Chains A and B, each alone.
Chain A
Amino acid sequence: MWRRPFPWLIVGAALLYALFPYFTDDVGLRESLLLAAIYIILASNLNLMIGYAGYVNFGNIVFFGLGGYICLYLVTGWHWNVILAALAGGVAVSAVALLFGLGILRLRGAFFALATIGVNQAVQQLVVNFEPWGGATGIYLSLDSYGPLGGPMQALWVMYLLIVVLTAASLLASYAIKNSKFGLGLIAIGQNEDAAAILGVPTARYKALVYSASAFLPAVAGGLYFFKSGIIEPTSAFSLQTSIEAIVMLMLGGSGTIIGPAFGAFLYEELRGFLLTTEYLSHFQLVIAGALLLVIVQFAPGGLLGWLHRQWPRSRRWLE
């Protein structure tokens, strides 16, 4: 895996991404980059489902939100270390996704897509009614929670670095899976599931596994992100809109590629930031994002990377 230049490119970019705001000591830039990193994690893991296996998961944000809840619950209720709590959240959400995937992935195409919306909304409503997690008001962190990390100021930097590590891990996992037998099986499922099954791909197991795998890193990232925010509540944790924006980013960059979703997420986040802060355009953020998606879907379904690969076929070798 490490013989090709591509994974080193990811590691290098991640180092730069992590250290740039640290050395310039620019907190505003760090916050903007952190949000972009979260989106990269979401889009890149979603890509495992949509880009590789061809299953549209509209409710992917449910992993992020649940991971956040479990982490904050362990930190406030049981005084766990945040990193352990976030990892525990990731493992728990992954395990639930595996069980759930075995049932829900019997559905195909549009039926699966609809069911994922149902799962997200059902979980959101459950959490609203779940008193130990604060019901509709959610969970707040007190400032003491940041103590073990050397106070809030330093905790924010630690969270940023950890999230960048997760971002790099997402991209590397995406790369490793694509170049494995597992990934090959997934791509076969995405192209023609029946044919894949006939050729001996264990489709049911692979689908459940990729559903579970695509849950792990977003759940861990959710734990860290909501710990950083200091508050989690059901509407923002399970926002269907964010979930679908992640699909926009994925399509913008190029679904099925490794670095494409990351480019898409980064560009989308910057575009959104620009629109929200520009006076005349702030009301039209959704309109512009929607129009952008409409154009990509109808005229450039390969996204940015697909276009690049067509223009310069050589770019395939170092930009996957």
Chain B
Amino acid sequence: MFGILASVIDGILVGAVYGLAAMGLTLIWGVMNVINLAHGAIIVLGMFLLYLVVYSLGLHPYVAVPTTIVFGFLFGIVLYWVGVHRVIGRPELMSLLSTFALNMVLIGLGTAIWSTSPYNVPVDMPSVSWRGYTFTGTHITAAIMAVVIAGLLYLLLYHTRVGKAVRAVANNREAAELTGIPTRQMLSMAFGLGVALAGVSGTLIATLFPFTVLSGETYQLNSFVVTVLGGLGNPAGALMGGVALGLIEGLATPFMPVSWIPIVEFGLFVFCLIAFPRGIFAFSKA
């Protein structure tokens, strides 16, 4: 019995990190109605930033976390002006294709630089043992960091002027423009924030599991599942969706072969999309 509980707790810890990744996706969708298909590539860049910080600069792994946030934000703004700005407000096909094009470019460059072989960054953290079950320190740290970053985002969005401006743009772009809010800057900033969140979740995931340049695809689909569970455009729901996905993974692991878990996830994903298009946790649109 306790074995299942342990697996559930571990699932929730990892789920919090999934939730963080999905927050990046959902923030961008909520503000500019763009589904960022470069999401997975950005997660991968976050992973490789951890690798660079540890092996090229020789610093402590968790130094990579604030570094990714800063670089991710700046990089996101660049991506916005290169590939997103011109397709805002045009049919969805255009923004889907243009972010997918960014994805191809980033993954292509990543493959050329790092090839597709697996990388692993071992992180030393003391683990917690209880009744013969071990909870690894990296999982606990990653979950705590994810929750803290999510909290910081909440403060930024709901307790600062900039956050208020971003929310105004999300609500009604023309009205926001009329009240004197520089909407283009706000859009690019929101995209930067979304990219920073995706990147930092990649960094945290890389402290838990080995990764390759192509890992992004799995985590991107994962983020889609989470966003749909939590409701598109709803950052708080994303965190809950992440925990829910972690919970499902944790609950399912003891009862079925590992290879069946993706089927459950994707089945759930399609089912939720059709049955609850606004998300299970959709209380209100942020």
Interface residues of A in 15-41 (CB under 8 A from B): none
**Does B191 reach chain A (CB closer than 8 Å)?**
no
Q: In whole angstroms, what is the CA distance A117 to B273 when docked?
A: 12
Q: In whole angstroms, what is the CA distance A215 to B271 when docked?
A: 21
How far does the Cβ of A12 sit from chain B's closest Cβ, in whole Å? 32
Q: In whole angstroms, what is the CA distance A129 to B262 when docked?
A: 11
List the B side residues contacting A286 at CB < 8 Å.
104-105, 107-108, 111
15 residue pairs A–B, Cβ–Cβ below 8 Å: A56-B96, A115-B269, A115-B270, A117-B224, A118-B224, A119-B266, A121-B221, A122-B269, A125-B263, A251-B97, A286-B104, A287-B105, A290-B101, A297-B94, A301-B90
Contacts A56-B92, A114-B35, A301-B94 given; does A293 touch B101 at CB 8 Å: yes
**Residues B35 and A122 in contact, CB atoms below 8 Å apart:** no
Contacts A286-B111, A297-B94, A298-B86 given; does A122 touch B266 at CB 8 Å: yes
**Residues A114 and B224 in contact, CB atoms below 8 Å apart:** yes
Contacts A113-B35, A294-B102 given; does A118 touch B273 at CB 8 Å: yes
List the A side residues contacting B224 at CB < 8 Å.
114, 117-118
Q: Which of A107, A283, A292, A293 contacts B277 (CB 8 A)?
A: A107
List the A side residues contacting B83 at CB < 8 Å.
294, 298
Q: In whole angstroms, what is the CA distance A137 to B202 when docked?
A: 31
How far does the Cβ of A275 sit from chain B's closest Cβ, in whole Å? 11
Residue of B nearest to A291 (CB): B105
Q: In whole angstroms, what is the CA distance A291 to B112 when docked?
A: 15
Contacts A118-B266, A129-B260, A251-B97 given; does A290 touch B103 at CB 8 Å: yes
* B binding-site residues for A, Cβ under 8 Å: 29, 33, 35, 82-83, 86-87, 90-94, 96-98, 100-109, 111-112, 217, 221, 224-225, 228, 232, 257, 259-260, 262-263, 266-267, 269-270, 273-274, 277
Contacts A128-B259, A285-B108, A294-B102 given; does A107 touch B97 at CB 8 Å: no
Q: Which of A50, A114, A240 contacts B273 (CB 8 A)?
A: A114
List the A side residues contacting B91 at CB < 8 Å.
54
Q: In whole angstroms, what is the CA distance A290 to B110 when docked?
A: 13
How far does the Cβ of A117 sit from chain B's closest Cβ, in whole Å? 7
How far does the Cβ of B188 sit from chain A's closest Cβ, in whole Å? 16
Contacts A54-B91, A125-B259, A290-B104 given; does A115 touch B273 at CB 8 Å: yes
Residue of B nearest to A109 (CB): B92
Residue of A nearest to B277 (CB): A111
* A binding-site residues for B, Cβ under 8 Å: 50, 54, 56, 58, 103-104, 106-107, 109-111, 113-115, 117-119, 121-122, 125-126, 128-129, 240, 244, 247-248, 251, 255, 283-294, 297-298, 301
How far does the Cβ of A220 sit from chain B's closest Cβ, in whole Å? 25
Q: In whole angstroms, what is the CA distance A292 to B97 when docked?
A: 11
Q: In whole angstroms, what is the CA distance A115 to B270 when docked?
A: 6
Q: Which 7 A-B pairs have the closest CB atoms?
A: A290-B104, A286-B108, A287-B108, A122-B266, A290-B105, A293-B101, A294-B101
**Residues B259 and A298 in contact, CB atoms below 8 Å apart:** no
Q: In whole angstroms, what is the CA distance A301 to B94 when docked?
A: 8
**Residues A107 and B274 in contact, CB atoms below 8 Å apart:** yes
How far does the Cβ of B97 sit from chain A's closest Cβ, in whole Å? 5
How far does the Cβ of A107 sit from chain B's closest Cβ, in whole Å? 6
**Residues B217 and A240 in contact, CB atoms below 8 Å apart:** yes
List the A side residues contacting B260 at CB < 8 Å.
125, 129
List the B side residues contacting A289 at CB < 8 Å.
104, 108
Q: In whole angstroms, what is the CA distance A121 to B221 when docked?
A: 9
**Residues A114 and B104 in contact, CB atoms below 8 Å apart:** no
List the A side residues contacting B263 at CB < 8 Å.
122, 125-126, 129
Q: Which of A54, A113, A125, A283 contacts B96 (CB 8 A)?
A: A113
Q: In whole angstroms, what is the CA distance A283 to B93 when docked?
A: 28
List the A side residues contacting B217 at CB < 8 Å.
240
**Residues A291 and B101 in contact, CB atoms below 8 Å apart:** yes
Q: In whole angstroms, what is the CA distance A126 to B232 when docked?
A: 26
**Residues B274 and A106 in contact, CB atoms below 8 Å apart:** yes
How far does the Cβ of B226 sit from chain A's closest Cβ, in whole Å? 12
Contacts A109-B92, A110-B96, A111-B277 given; does A287 touch B270 at CB 8 Å: no
Q: In whole angstroms, what is the CA distance A9 to B266 when docked?
A: 44
Q: In whole angstroms, what is the CA distance A111 to B227 when docked?
A: 11
Q: Which of B105, B109, B277 contacts A294 (CB 8 A)?
A: B105
List the A side residues contacting B277 at CB < 8 Å.
107, 111
- Scoring B94, B101, B105, B273 by chain A CB atoms within 10 A of each residue's CB, the highest score goes to B101
**Residues A293 and B100 in contact, CB atoms below 8 Å apart:** yes
How far does the Cβ of A169 sit from chain B's closest Cβ, in whole Å? 26
